[in-house]
């Protein structure tokens, strides 16, 4: 067996999200999302950056589709901007918003690129946040209405749908530590938000199924944390269990198994009685899915020892408030080895172990790597090239891990490189570059990096090139 070759039909893709690339924030009827409000609040985002212009993909999308064709990808994962499609989060759709996504999907299909739509990548219409946001149950109903509207408008072109991207971030960074929009810091609101995001997912899957042909595929993308204990002590192992419950099983429990894990309910009982969890909710959340989207960047290393008091740095931004309700005492450690510009450890074994664990926990569920990639301090050299060799090494290592997991029997159907373009990296603004394509922000000019050429070779051959010193 060629250990570098991926299975026939493996999906090679790349991914983006609306607020990170589109710009055109107040064009054609779009209204503010929580990220517009948050980024315009002084002190929230590094350098005061906002998504007002971003990469201007809203106007340059034809060029971006041509770049994807050159990359040789067979799929493109992007999100719809909820406030562009349904301003204020209620009522009828805005035709111009839908026209934008129709034209984009048509161009993708003409180039043999399958559109993979994420309904929600963090840009809640501000009016829904003003009405209470994700901690309120009614937001899950608004989301289901929006899902139905999007399916009616795009279901003739889009066959693969993802409800939410990384609901952990929406709930725990948005309402717990406050390093993401809307910037609230209330652990109970964060738990309520997580439940209502789960409920929104379940209701949206039902809405999608009702609107779409039976051949359509529905999924969710989770940033499953690969949690490791610092030592084998009972205390550290229990710390890893608590973080695993909040990071992972809070979502996989109801979504894939139809129940919240008892240890999660016990761990958080001192904070809330969970009365927001109503009869029938877990049945509504537990909908059949066609695959599970997995985003992986780095493993999570924890211990029971009390971390530095007063702030929390677990790789998700700095805050005086913990994103881990009931587990704020747990310490996070940076694993040994090299790191990316985010300070995240480069460790493909975390991806391999995570995939093997998912296979053990959910044997029948096909997996899709919906994000993987790295930020480095890229620059254009005097020859006009961006020689991002560290990114190539990162991608090679992680794709090798995926290939090994497939050989070990894990059903991984595809891989989406994060990201197509350098873009607005949330609280870090434009200071972190994740793209295979460099964006010169003052001009909007796109410059494919060396990693783009490397990835095009992988997508065309379906195989990883040998690396010097490797035997395969
Ligand atoms: O840029 C983000 C993306 O929006 C969600 N997943 C992680 C990426 C890198 O931080």
In the set 22, 114, 211, 371, the catalytic residue is 371
Pocket mutation for ligand 1, best pick of 21, 166, 416 (most atoms within 8 Å of C-beta): 166
Cα of 173 from ligand 1 centre, angstroms: 13
Task: Calculate helix-pair angle for 187-211, 138-154, nearest 10 degrees.
Answer: 30
**Structure confidence at residue 459 (pLDDT):** 98
**Ligand 1 atom index nearest CA of 223:** 6
CA distances 68 to 33, 77, 158, 209, Å, are: 28, 11, 17, 29
| pLDDT tens per residue across all 472 residues of the chain | 578 999 999 999 999 999 999 999 999 999 999 999 999 999 999 999 999 999 999 999 999 999 999 999 999 999 999 999 999 999 999 999 999 999 999 999 999 999 999 999 999 999 999 999 999 999 999 999 999 999 999 999 999 999 999 999 999 999 999 999 999 999 999 999 999 999 999 999 999 999 999 999 999 999 999 999 999 999 999 999 999 999 999 999 999 999 999 999 999 999 999 999 999 999 999 999 999 999 999 999 999 976 554 344 567 777 889 999 999 999 999 999 999 999 999 999 999 999 999 999 999 999 999 999 999 999 999 999 999 999 999 999 999 999 999 999 999 999 999 999 999 999 999 999 999 999 999 999 999 999 999 999 999 999 999 876 544 3
In a domain, 467, yes or no: no
Secondary structure (3-state) at 439 = strand
Cα–Cα distance for residue pair 287/201, rounded to 1 Å = 9
**Structure confidence at residue 422 (pLDDT):** 99
Pocket mutation for ligand 1, best pick of 375, 426, 439 (most atoms within 8 Å of C-beta): 426
Pocket mutation for ligand 1, best pick of 371, 372, 423 (most atoms within 8 Å of C-beta): 371
- Give the DSSP per-residue string, 197-252: HHHHHHHHHHHHHHHS-TT-EEEEEE----EEESSSSHHHHHHHHHHHIIIIIHHH
Given a contact cutoff of 8 angstroms between Cβ atoms, the answer to whether 433 and 373 are in contact is no
- Taking phi over 0 as left and psi of -120 to 50 as alpha, with beta for the rest, 326 belongs to left
Is the Cβ atom of 371 under 6 angstroms away from ligand 1? yes
**Structure confidence at residue 198 (pLDDT):** 99
Longest Cα–Cα distance of the chain, Å, equals 63
In a domain, 329, yes or no: no
- The CATH number of whichever domain residue 214 belongs to comes to 3.20.20.80
**Structure confidence at residue 452 (pLDDT):** 99
**Structure confidence at residue 402 (pLDDT):** 98
Q: In this structure, which residue's CA is closest to atom 9 in ligand 1?
A: 425
Cα of 425 from ligand 1 centre, angstroms: 7
Q: In this structure, which residue's CA is closest to atom 1 in ligand 1?
A: 425
Is the Cβ atom of 166 under 6 angstroms away from ligand 1? yes
Give the chain's domain count. Answer: 1
Model-wide pTM > 0.95: yes
In a domain, 194, yes or no: yes
Given a contact cutoff of 8 angstroms between Cβ atoms, the answer to whether 396 and 467 are in contact is yes
In a domain, 327, yes or no: no
Is the Cβ atom of 418 under 6 angstroms away from ligand 1? yes
Is the Cβ atom of 267 under 6 angstroms away from ligand 1? no
Cα–Cα distance for residue pair 251/246, rounded to 1 Å = 8
In a domain, 311, yes or no: no
Cα of 426 from ligand 1 centre, angstroms: 8
Nearest residue to 98 via CA among 108, 85, 107, 86: 85
**Ligand 1 atom index nearest CA of 419:** 1
In the set 166, 232, 257, 385, the catalytic residue is 166
Cα of 418 from ligand 1 centre, angstroms: 8
Pocket mutation for ligand 1, best pick of 374, 425, 430 (most atoms within 8 Å of C-beta): 425
Torsion, CA 255, CA 257, CA 262, CA 266, rounded to 10: 0
Q: Is 385 a catalytic residue?
A: no
Cα of 172 from ligand 1 centre, angstroms: 15
Residue numbers of the domain that contains 89: 11-300+338-461
Is the Cβ atom of 425 under 6 angstroms away from ligand 1? yes
Cα–Cα distance for residue pair 50/55, rounded to 1 Å = 11
Q: Is 409 exposed, middle or buried (0-12, 13-18, 19+ CB in 10 A)?
A: exposed
In a domain, 317, yes or no: no
In a domain, 109, yes or no: yes
The number of CA neighbours under 13 Å toward the Cβ of 291 is: 20
Cα of 460 from ligand 1 centre, angstroms: 26
In a domain, 326, yes or no: no
Given a contact cutoff of 8 angstroms between Cβ atoms, the answer to whether 53 and 148 are in contact is no
Cα–Cα distance for residue pair 73/71, rounded to 1 Å = 6
């Amino acid at each position: 067996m060629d250990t570098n070759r991926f299975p026939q039909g493996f999906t090679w893709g790349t991914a983006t999200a609306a607020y990170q690339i589109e710009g055109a924030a107040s064009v054609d009827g779009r209204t503010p999302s929580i990220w517009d409000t948050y980024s315009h609040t002084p002190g929230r985002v590094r350098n005061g950056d906002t998504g007002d212009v971003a990469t201007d993909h809203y106007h340059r999308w034809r060029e971006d589709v041509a770049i994807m064709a050159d990359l040789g990808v067979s799929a493109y994962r992007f999100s719809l901007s909820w406030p562009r499609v349904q301003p204020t989060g209620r009522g009828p759709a805005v035709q111009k918003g839908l026209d934008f996504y129709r034209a984009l999907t048509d161009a993708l299909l003409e180039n043999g690129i399958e559109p993979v739509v994420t309904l929600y990548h963090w840009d809640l219409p501000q009016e829904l946040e003003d009405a209470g946001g994700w901690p309120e149950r009614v937001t899950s109903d608004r989301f289901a209405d929006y899902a139905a509207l999007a399916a009616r408008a795009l279901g003739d072109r889009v066959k693969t749908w993802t409800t939410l991207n990384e609901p952990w971030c929406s709930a725990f960074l948005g309402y717990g530590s406050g390093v993401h929009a809307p910037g609230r810091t209330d652990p109970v609101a964060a738990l309520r938000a997580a439940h209502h995001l789960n409920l929104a997912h379940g209701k949206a899957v039902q809405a999608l199924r009702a609107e779409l042909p039976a051949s359509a595929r529905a999924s969710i993308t989770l940033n499953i944390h690969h949690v490791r204990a610092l030592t084998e002590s009972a205390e550290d192992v229990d710390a890893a269990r608590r973080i695993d419950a909040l990071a992972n099983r809070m979502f996989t429990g109801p979504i894939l198994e139809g129940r919240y894990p008892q240890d999660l309910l016990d761990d958080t009982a001192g904070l809330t009685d969970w009365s927001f969890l109503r009869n029938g909710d877990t049945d509504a959340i537990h909908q059949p899915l066609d695959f599970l989207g997995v985003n992986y960047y780095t493993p999570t290393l924890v211990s029971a020892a009390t971390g530095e008091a007063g702030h929390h740095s677990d790789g998700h931004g700095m805050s005086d408030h913990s994103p881990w309700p009931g587990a704020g005492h747990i310490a996070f450690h940076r694993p040994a080895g090299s790191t990316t510009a985010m300070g995240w450890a480069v460790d493909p074994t975390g991806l391999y172990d995570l995939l093997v664990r998912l296979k053990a926990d959910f044997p029948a569920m096909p997996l899709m790597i919906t994000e993987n990639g790295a930020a480095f301090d890229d620059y254009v050299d005097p020859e006009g090239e961006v020689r991002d060799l560290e990114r190539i090494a990162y991608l090679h290592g992680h794709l090798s891990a995926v290939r090994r997991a497939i050989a070990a029997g894990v059903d991984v159907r595809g891989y989406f490189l994060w990201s197509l373009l350098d873009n607005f990296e949330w609280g870090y603004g434009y200071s972190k570059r994740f793209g295979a394509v460099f964006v010169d922000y003052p001009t909007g000019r796109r410059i494919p990096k060396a990693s783009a050429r490397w990835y095009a070779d992988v997508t065309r051959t379906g195989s990883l090139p040998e690396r010097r010193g490797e035997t395969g």
